[in-house]
Amino acid sequence: MHGVKEIIEEAACLPVEERVMVIDSLLRTINPPLAEVEIEWMMVAKRRLAELRSGRVEAVPGNEVLAKIRDRFEV
């Protein structure tokens, strides 16, 4: 069996998407999500994706959002 250090080193070599999956899986073992909450989030995500695809809303680049947050809160 691998030690914690070896597991972390191996995980750090994974592609970003796979690292996110590992992190999500580990977090779920600490704080399992409630099924009702997961269903609600999925509905919100699907609605927002449909809004983007239909052109009803326009995406804002992340760097612009972060800049507005920094300006607003003087971070």
pLDDT tens digit sequence for 20-75: 999 999 999 998 889 999 999 999 999 999 999 999 999 999 999 999 999 999 86
Q: DSSP letters along the chain, please?
A: ---HHHHHHHHHTS-HHHHHHHHHHHHHHHSPPPHHHHHHHHHHHHHHHHHHHHTSS----HHHHHHHHHHHHT-
pTM of the model: 0.52
Q: Which two tokens stand for residue 64?
A: 């612009």
**Within 10 Å of residue 43's Cβ, how many Cβ atoms?**
10
- Residue 33 is predicted with a pLDDT of 85
